[in-house]
């Protein structure tokens, strides 16, 4: 047994631990001192950087914090800590307390968005800054809004007299009369003690139950904004303070917090109401070290503080980061709201009302008005076969309501575009925070001619990069269900929709026309954030380099498809035809373009050696071009089908008719011929630099003002930037089967599947199941549009067996193009429209929680 015990004694381990800590502290001290260089705007009376650090060092690590024995408890301890360094507090915290400006920018953006939707201009806004210290936060807010004009009253609440004195001098210097410094315990602060017109208004209606949803909070009044900047971690009795804040906050108010933290991802595994988990996990050493380090100054980093915040409020936005300057100290930014969500008009609503409305919009079911909820429900159930459908978001909301938890964060957004999903499921995490497609390979003009969408259409389409979704939105259909299993593809669509909602055309063009924006991070925080779900915001805050990196090429050289684009760039640089590519894009006539292609570019890109060594390799086809194994097998089977028959056959080719060895033996030739049939007709009939944005963005890395997708046109931005432009959009992060299975019968009119059917195993039961579910969800006359890498895909016969009439509306043969109008993409061999001509027997919906799925919300005490 003794051999299993480490030879290092506990005392020796502690010595090593403290030695590491002391060394790290000295390094931080050096960095800290060098970084504290007062700017010209700072008060000239501020001490030097070295003196500031010495005061900070003494107060934080040498001076005892037991107080002076006056018996004032927490206030005495705080004063003992801050009095010696109050004059240098702001100087020493600039680099240490990261994220404060970001938090202020986020809450300001929420307030500005809210004010834009308010019906009156005479709005009384109240801001309470808990633990506001020297007032730095309040002055810094002036970078985003005019504090004296935007807020009627601002209260700085802090328990340290020394810090409060610094704050009073600050606001006297600034001349801000609406800011009041209150030296008081946050637990005992009440607005009615300071606001004359809220004495009678701030009353509380308490339910006889213990359900927090029954706590309405202030009927009128309350704080529109509450902020805590690195103060929650210094409050010992944080439970009671957070409870008091829930009463202090107005029903439609916002609470913003930035603070240090440590936490393990294991803690979050069963929670669906957080704002996402990107960067939230802190490794075991970080959790141990930072808690011990900050404990010296009575700063509590235990996860319970943030956990309780997320329990007592609804999460609007959340983000996690590290202060790299000081040893990667973890810190978080969190925005919350009342646990009871508000309606689109910023008025309080019962949770079941919000849940019901969203559920109806997601499932295409009739909305059940709360007034007639019971009788409408019974009538709907009687008429519906199978019984009333419920979305996964509804199921999650019911579980949370019954357990007295906040709703999933998606329910607290300003827009309900994004539908709740569990981001910790393996089917979502498999994509490792990366989208595959940065742009969509579907010609929107062809789609518009084929589909002719109208205002009554209900469309389901694969998201991809979202370009096609935006193109359909230009036709103003009643509803668009955007579906993608990869959360990151939906994050990209969310970013585009938010940009329409918040940005002028010039910024919109920089982001998605040029693919670069040097000020993207600031724009994301101050303009886009109110229009995004927490998970999408987290994703883009963590990936600002996509638009800002000086080394990268921008948005259109990111994602999985970047490998193909980089390969072309590498070949052009290696074989010296970069100038020829530029000339190709500048060509003014097709003859000029054909000559450049034939003489200078095609011999290299279409060489059989390159095809054999790289392009025809299955790993490259999947990673760079998104071609899965089953689709590759269809290309190989088509090639065998054509070469084995002297005359063209009308029978569909299927990989099932060939062995794997037979298919693999022709791969090189099949892929080469597929490339030839794809690219040559495009060069022959489409001027790349003038009217082919799909190949332009691949070769150039950006669009041009004369050549771009329809959604990037100024007139498109004018139309889609209207406030109601995306009211009918619902973004689902799930499989098509799961979404279609939860749609009400006969409600879809159009389903756009792109080439997704090619991904099924030939003859697979899953394909038949999906087709049957599509039949159930589509109304008679509803259409499915799909494209395929095969000329006659094997699954078309299955569609015909299950109630559809098939029509091939595009076919690519040797030397011809798939699209009759203009050959701009030509990536697929065929395009089909399948029209529902008869009802197929309905499929019983999958319901993993049958009892929960049938719960009447009226039965819950909320």
Co-location of 266 and 199 in the same domain: yes
* The pLDDT of residue 518: 95
Please state the rounded mean pLDDT for residues 211-223: 54
Please state the rounded mean pLDDT for residues 699-723: 95
Co-location of 185 and 306 in the same domain: yes
β-pairing, 458-462 with 479-483? parallel
Which two structure tokens, joined as six digits, stand for 490? 């939906």
Report angle CA 745, 749, 750 to the nearest 5 degrees: 120
Q: Which residue has the higher pLDDT, 73 or 634?
A: 634
Q: Which residue has the higher pLDDT, 846 or 103?
A: 103
Provide the CB-side half-sphere exposure for 409 (13 A, CA).
27
How far apart, in whole angstroms, are the C-alpha atoms of residue 308 and residue 237?
Answer: 12
35 within some domain: no
Least confident range of 399-403, 416-420, 425-429, 765-769:
399-403
Residue at a domain's end among 306, 337, 368:
337
Which two structure tokens, joined as six digits, stand for 360? 């109806």
Which two structure tokens, joined as six digits, stand for 450? 């084929």
Phi, psi of 260 (to 5 degrees): -75, 160
426, pLDDT greater than 90: yes
Query: Which residues, in sequence order, are CB contacts of 555 under 8 Å at separation 6+?
Result: 438, 511, 512, 515, 516, 546, 547
β-pairing, 804-811 with 778-788? unpaired
Co-location of 65 and 179 in the same domain: no
Which pTM does this prediction carry? 0.85
Condensed to tens digits (0 to 9), the pLDDT of residues 253-274 reads: 999 999 999 999 888 888 999 9
Chain-wide mean pLDDT for the chain?
82
Provide the CB-side half-sphere exposure for 47 (13 A, CA).
16
Please state the rounded mean pLDDT for residues 815-824: 81
In which order are the strands placed within the sheet that holds 153-158? 179-183, 153-158, 126-130, 223-229, 249-260, 329-337, 314-323
452 within some domain: yes
Please state the rounded mean pLDDT for residues 713-733: 96
Which residue matches tokens 């309606």? 343
Q: 491-524 burial, b if ≥16 CB within 10 A, otherwise e?
A: bbbbbbbbbbbbbebebbbbbbbbbbbeebbebb
Largest CA distance in the chain: 103
Condensed to tens digits (0 to 9), the pLDDT of residues 535-568 reads: 999 999 999 999 999 887 899 999 988 888 888 8
Cα–Cα nearest to 656, from 675, 640, 643, 645: 640
How many other C-beta atoms can be found within 10 angstroms of the C-beta atom of residue 41?
A: 5
180, pLDDT greater than 80: yes
854 within some domain: no
Co-location of 453 and 481 in the same domain: yes
Condensed to tens digits (0 to 9), the pLDDT of residues 139-167 reads: 999 999 999 999 999 999 998 888 899 89
The answer to whether 481 and 739 have CB atoms below 8 angstroms apart is: yes
4 within some domain: no
The answer to whether 238 and 207 have CB atoms below 8 angstroms apart is: no
* The pLDDT of residue 342: 66
Q: Is 261 helix (H, G, I), strand (E, B) or coil?
A: coil
Provide the CB-side half-sphere exposure for 531 (13 A, CA).
24
The answer to whether 514 and 554 have CB atoms below 8 angstroms apart is: yes
Q: Looking at beta carbons, which pairs linking 207-212 to residues 24 or more positions away fall under 8 Å?
A: 209/861, 211/404, 211/861, 211/862, 212/246, 212/312, 212/339, 212/404
Q: Which residue has the higher pLDDT, 647 or 775?
A: 775
* The pLDDT of residue 520: 98
User: Helical H runs in 347-391?
Assistant: 351-363, 373-383
Cross-strand pairs, 333:
258, 319
284 within some domain: yes
507, pLDDT greater than 50: yes
Please tell me what DSSP assigns to residue 84: T
Condensed to tens digits (0 to 9), the pLDDT of residues 575-588 reads: 888 899 999 999 99
* The pLDDT of residue 66: 56
Condensed to tens digits (0 to 9), the pLDDT of residues 95-145 reads: 678 899 999 999 999 999 999 887 666 678 999 999 998 899 999 999 999
Whole domain around residue 793: which residue ranges? Answer: 425-839
Helices then strands (H, E): number in the chain? Answer: 38, 14
Residue 182 belongs to a domain with what CATH number? 3.40.50.150
The answer to whether 527 and 504 have CB atoms below 8 angstroms apart is: no
Co-location of 244 and 381 in the same domain: no
13, pLDDT greater than 70: no
Least confident range of 324-333, 377-386, 510-519, 682-691:
377-386
* The pLDDT of residue 221: 62
* The pLDDT of residue 22: 61
For residue 70, what pLDDT band results from cuts at 50, 70 and 90?
low
Q: Is 673 helix (H, G, I), strand (E, B) or coil?
A: helix
For residue 382, what pLDDT band results from cuts at 50, 70 and 90?
very low
Report how far apart, in Å, the C-alpha atoms of 690 and of each of 585, 587, 602 are.
8, 8, 20
How buried is residue 436: exposed, middle or buried, by Cβ count under 10 Å (0-12/13-18/19+)?
Answer: buried
Co-location of 387 and 514 in the same domain: no
* The pLDDT of residue 201: 39
Please state the rounded mean pLDDT for residues 680-690: 93
Cα–Cα nearest to 290, from 319, 260, 268: 260
Condensed to tens digits (0 to 9), the pLDDT of residues 467-488 reads: 999 999 999 999 999 999 999 9
Which two structure tokens, joined as six digits, stand for 49? 């950087």
Please state the rounded mean pLDDT for residues 354-382: 64
How many domains in the chain?
Answer: 4
16 within some domain: no
The answer to whether 497 and 726 have CB atoms below 8 angstroms apart is: yes
Co-location of 286 and 356 in the same domain: no
650 within some domain: yes
Which two structure tokens, joined as six digits, stand for 469? 């979704």
844 within some domain: no
For residue 650, what pLDDT band results from cuts at 50, 70 and 90?
low
Co-location of 406 and 523 in the same domain: no
Output the DSSP codes for 492-544: HHHHHHHHHHH--HHHHHIIIIIS--TTHHHHIIIIIGGGS-HHHHHHHHTTT
Co-location of 330 and 365 in the same domain: no
* The pLDDT of residue 355: 84
Please tell me what DSSP assigns to residue 95: T
622, pLDDT greater than 80: no
The answer to whether 74 and 187 have CB atoms below 8 angstroms apart is: no
For residue 517, what pLDDT band results from cuts at 50, 70 and 90?
very high
Phi, psi of 316 (to 5 degrees): -95, -50
How far apart, in whole angstroms, are the C-alpha atoms of residue 691 and residue 363?
Answer: 39
Q: Distance between the two ends of the chain, CA-based, in angstroms?
A: 57
Please state the rounded mean pLDDT for residues 590-610: 89
> What element of type H or E holds 831?
strand 830-836
Report how far apart, in Å, the C-alpha atoms of 596 and of each of 602, 603, 762 are.
9, 11, 41
Query: Which residues, in sequence order, are CB contacts of 563 under 8 Å at separation 6+?
Result: 620, 623, 624
How many other C-beta atoms can be found within 10 angstroms of the C-beta atom of residue 709?
A: 24
How much of the chain, in percent, has pLDDT values that exceed 70?
Answer: 78
Query: Which residues, in sequence order, are CB contacts of 320 under 8 Å at separation 6+?
Result: 261, 278, 279, 280, 330, 331, 332, 333, 538
Helix axes 693-700, 562-575, angle to 10 degrees: 60
In which order are the strands placed within the sheet that holds 804-811? 729-732, 479-483, 458-462, 748-754, 778-788, 830-836, 804-811
35, pLDDT greater than 50: no
Q: Is 679 helix (H, G, I), strand (E, B) or coil?
A: helix
51, pLDDT greater than 70: no
Co-location of 298 and 181 in the same domain: yes
Please state the rounded mean pLDDT for residues 296-325: 91
Co-location of 314 and 263 in the same domain: yes
β-pairing, 830-836 with 804-811? antiparallel
Phi, psi of 829 (to 5 degrees): -90, -25
* The pLDDT of residue 173: 94
The answer to whether 111 and 99 have CB atoms below 8 angstroms apart is: no
Co-location of 232 and 355 in the same domain: no
- Residue 386: is the preceding peptide bond cis (ω within 30°)? yes
How many other C-beta atoms can be found within 10 angstroms of the C-beta atom of residue 749?
A: 22
Cα–Cα nearest to 275, from 352, 228, 337: 337
């Amino acid at each position: 047994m003794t051999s299993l015990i480490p030879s290092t004694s506990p005392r020796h381990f502690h010595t090593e631990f403290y030695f590491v800590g002391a060394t790290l502290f000295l390094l931080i001290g050096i960095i800290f001192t060098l970084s504290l260089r007062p700017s010209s705007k700072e008060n000239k009376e501020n001490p030097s950087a070295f003196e500031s650090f010495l005061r900070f060092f003494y107060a934080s690590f040498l001076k005892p914090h037991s107080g002076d024995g006056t018996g004032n408890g927490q206030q005495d301890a705080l004063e003992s800590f801050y009095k010696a360094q109050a004059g240098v507090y702001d100087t020493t915290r600039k680099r240490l307390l990261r994220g404060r400006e970001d938090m202020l920018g986020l809450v300001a953006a929420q307030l500005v968005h809210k004010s834009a939707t308010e019906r009156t201009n005479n709005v009384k806004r109240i801001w309470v800054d808990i633990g506001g210290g020297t007032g730095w936060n309040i002055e810094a807010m002036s970078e985003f809004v005019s504090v004296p004009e935007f807020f009627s009253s601002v209260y700085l609440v802090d328990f340290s007299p020394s810090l409060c004195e610094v704050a009073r001098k600050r606001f006297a210097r600034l001349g801000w009369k609406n800011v009041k410094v209150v030296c008081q315990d946050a637990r005992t602060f009440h607005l009615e003690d300071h606001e004359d017109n809220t004495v009678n208004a701030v009353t509380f209606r308490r339910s006889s139950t213990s359900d927090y949803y029954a706590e309405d909070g202030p009927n009128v009044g309350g704080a529109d904004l509450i902020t805590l900047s690195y103060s929650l971690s210094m409050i010992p009795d944080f439970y009671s303070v957070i409870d008091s804040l829930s009463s202090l906050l107005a029903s439609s108010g916002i609470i913003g917090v930035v603070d240090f933290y440590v936490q393990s991802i294991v803690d979050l595994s069963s929670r669906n109401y957080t704002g996402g988990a990107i960067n939230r996990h802190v490794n075991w050493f970080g959790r141990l070290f930072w808690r011990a380090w900050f404990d010296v100054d009575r700063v509590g980093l235990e996860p319970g503080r943030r956990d309780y915040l997320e329990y007592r409020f609804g999460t609007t936005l959340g983000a996690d980061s590290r202060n790299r300057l000081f040893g990667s100290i973890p810190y978080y930014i969190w925005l919350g709201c009342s646990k009871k969500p508000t309606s689109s008009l910023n008025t309080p609503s019962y949770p079941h009302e919000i849940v019901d409305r969203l559920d109806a919009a997601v499932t295409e079911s009739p909305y059940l008005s709360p007034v007639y909820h019971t009788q409408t429900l019974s009538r709907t159930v009687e008429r519906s076969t199978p019984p009333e459908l419920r979305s996964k978001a509804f199921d999650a909301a019911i579980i949370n309501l019954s357990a007295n938890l906040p709703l999933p964060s998606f329910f607290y957004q300003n827009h309900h575009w994004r539908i709740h999903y569990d981001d910790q499921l393996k089917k979502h995490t498999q994509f490792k925070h990366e989208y595959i497609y940065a742009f969509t390979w579907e010609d929107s003009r062809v789609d518009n001619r084929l589909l002719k969408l109208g205002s009554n259409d209900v469309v389901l389409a694969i998201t991809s990069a979202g370009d096609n979704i935006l193109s359909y939105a230009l036709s103003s259909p009643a509803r668009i269900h955007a579906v993608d299993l990869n959360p990151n593809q939906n994050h990209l669509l969310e970013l585009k929709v938010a940009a329409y909602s918040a940005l002028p055309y010039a910024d919109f063009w920089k982001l998605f026309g040029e693919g670069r924006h040097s000020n993207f991070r600031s724009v994301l925080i101050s303009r886009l954030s109110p229009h995004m779900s927490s998970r999408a915001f987290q994703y883009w805050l963590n990936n600002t380099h996509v638009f800002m990196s000086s080394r990268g090429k921008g948005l259109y050289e990111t994602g999985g498809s970047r490998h193909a684009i980089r390969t072309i760039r590498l070949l052009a640089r290696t074989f010296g035809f970069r100038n020829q590519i530029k000339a190709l894009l500048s060509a003014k006539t097709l003859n000029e373009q054909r000559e450049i292609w034939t003489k200078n570019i095609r011999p290299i890109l279409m060489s059989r050696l390159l095809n054999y060594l790289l392009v025809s390799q299955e790993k490259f086809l999947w990673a760079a071009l998104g071609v899965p194994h089953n689709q590759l097998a269809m290309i190989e089977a088509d090639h065998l089908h054509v070469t084995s028959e002297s005359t063209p056959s009308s029978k569909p080719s299927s990989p099932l008719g060939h062995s794997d060895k037979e298919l693999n033996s022709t791969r090189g030739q099949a892929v080469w011929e597929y490339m030839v049939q794809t690219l040559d007709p495009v060069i022959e009939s489409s001027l790349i630099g003038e009217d082919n944005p799909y190949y332009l963005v691949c070769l150039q890395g950006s669009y041009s003002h004369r050549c771009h997708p329809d959604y990037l046109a100024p007139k498109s931005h004018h139309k889609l930037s209207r406030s109601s432009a995306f009211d009918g959009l619902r973004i689902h992060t799930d499989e098509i089967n799961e979404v279609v299975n939860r749609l009400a019968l006969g409600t879809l009119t159009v389903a756009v599947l792109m080439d997704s059917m090619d991904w099924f195993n030939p003859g697979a039961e899953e394909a038949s199941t999906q087709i049957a579910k599509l039949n159930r969800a589509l109304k008679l006359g509803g259409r499915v549009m799909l494209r395929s890498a095969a000329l006659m895909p094997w699954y078309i016969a299955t569609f015909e067996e299950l109630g559809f009439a098939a029509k091939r509306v595009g076919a690519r043969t040797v030397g011809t193009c798939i699209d009759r109008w203009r050959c701009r993409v030509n990536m697929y061999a065929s395009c089909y429209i399948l029209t529902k001509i008869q009802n197929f027997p309905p499929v019983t919906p999958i319901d993993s929680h049958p009892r929960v799925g049938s719960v009447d919300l009226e039965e819950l005490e909320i």
